[in-house]
Amino acid sequence: MSQSTLFIKHKALPGKREEVRRVWETHLMPSIQERQVHDAYFYCYDDGDPNTIRVFQRYANGADAQAFMQGPAYEAYVAAVTPLLAHPPEIHAATVAWAKDKAAPVSETA
């Protein structure tokens, strides 16, 4: 089973990073906590930019990421967060080639 990841960068309007987080907590955090498709999820503040949020998500497979991003919680989040962002989120997909993980180590060769 290959794991997929998403690296997401949100650039909030100046001074709006906390508002972006509150929107995320309202619309996405409950869904993320309930769903089992995320192997890992990290919501992080960029140490070098007070307006940037970086998110790391790991899924058991790529179809899970697409299903999550097409669900009603994500749609509500996008509608609420868009006015707080300088530009649309940058989303980069990647396939895990190797990972150190206490719960389930992954090692794949191409």
Complete DSSP assignment for 34-57: H-S-EEEEEEEE-TT-TTEEEEEE
Comparing 28-42, 59-73, 82-96, the range with the smallest average pLDDT is 59-73
Cβ(3)–Cβ(94) under 8 Å? no
Per residue in 81-104, pLDDT (tens digit) is: 999 999 999 999 998 888 887 665
> Domain map of the chain by residue range?
4-97
- As a whole number of angstroms, the distance between CA 80 and CA 83 comes to 7
Matching CATH number, 4-97, of 3.30.413.10, 3.30.70.1280, 3.40.50.720, 3.30.70.100: 3.30.70.100
Q: What is the mean pLDDT of residues 21-50?
A: 91
